[in-house]
Amino acid sequence: MKILVCISSVPDTTSKINFTADKTALDKTGIQWVINPLDEFALTKAVKLQETQGATVTVLNIGEATTEPVIRKALAIGASEGIRVNTEPKDSFSVATEIANVAKAGGYELILCGKESIDYNGGAVPGMVAQILNQPFVNACVGLEVNGAEATAIREIEGGKETISVKLPAVIAGQKGLVDEKDLIIPNMRGIMSARTKPLHLQEATASDVKVQGVSYDAVPPRASVKMVSPDNLDELVRLLHEEAKVI
């Protein structure tokens, strides 16, 4: 079985986010880049399938050369090879188109990814990939088993969980719970050294249409000052909530 795992390079959650002076782009100065956490759940699941079912795992990133350290980390976690499509990701549709083109050419039976990236939180790419490829799609997946040409996926829905059976090839978008957090693979020295020799293929992008363009970005307003109220002064608390906060 051939598995394609799509990974995004995103800012570490501890990074301080700033924008350029004209507010048209992210200021990348001093940003620490990591594998999108939800993609890491998908990657770990793929590596486990590789161990139990003899699958081959290819990681795919749509990005510029600066993303290669993140791809190498994915190889250190256990992927067999990597592919980088050499282009700056512009919007969900163009990224999904590039992923679909790689998937078509490679004949992958299972495409795994996180349900969204933690930077833009759009959540549109996995469904677009499935639509372009005309393949079954399961979103918000928290459980996955593969048996031959069929996969059984468990996804979260409002008020519970739903178990779905799909024929492969298929696109699965995972989230926290696809594997236990304790099972996430931390690269050891052997994995890091082996990642240096694993193939990382470079492909040029196709002329993908860009449907959405960011115009400007604004930072979240700083938090307002806090007023402390004595726990014995409930009348003052109620007055502030009513007259100033206007929440009651």
Query: Over the stretch 66-108, which tens digit does the pLDDT of each residue have?
Result: 999 999 999 999 999 999 999 999 899 999 999 999 999 999 9
The total number of structural domains that make up the chain: 1
Cα of first residue to Cα of last residue in the chain, in angstroms, is 58
Q: What is the pLDDT of residue 59?
A: 98
Residue 107 lies in a domain: yes
Reported pTM? 0.87
Asked whether residue 198 carries a pLDDT value surpassing 80, the answer given is: yes
**Burial group, residue 154, by CB count within 10 angstroms (0-12, 13-18, 19+):** middle
Q: Is there a domain that residue 139 lies in?
A: yes
What's residue 30's pLDDT?
86
Confirm whether 12 is domain-assigned: yes
pLDDT at residue number 131 = 97
State the DSSP code for 26: B
What value does the mean pLDDT of the chain take? 93
* Domain annotation covers residue 241: no
- Is residue 55 in some structural domain? yes
Is 17 part of any domain? yes
Residue 236 lies in a domain: no
Residues with Cβ within 8 Å of residue 75, at least 6 apart in sequence: 59, 81, 82, 194, 195, 198, 200
- State the average pLDDT over residues 167-176: 96
pLDDT, tens digit, 9 for 90 and up, residues 1-20: 999 999 999 999 888 888 89
Tell the residue number behind the tokens 């620490």, with chain if given.
32
8 A C-beta contact, residue 106 and residue 120: no
For residues 178-182, give the mean pLDDT. Answer: 94
- Work out whether strand 137-147 and strand 160-167 pair parallel, antiparallel, or are unpaired: unpaired
Label residue 106 exposed, middle or buried (CB < 10 Å: 0-12, 13-18, 19+). middle
Q: Does residue 228 form part of some domain?
A: no
Query: What is the extent of the structural domain holding 186?
Result: 2-220
Looking at residue 29, which CATH number applies to its domain?
3.40.50.620
Q: Is the pLDDT of residue 28 over 80?
A: yes
Share of the chain above pLDDT 70, in %: 100
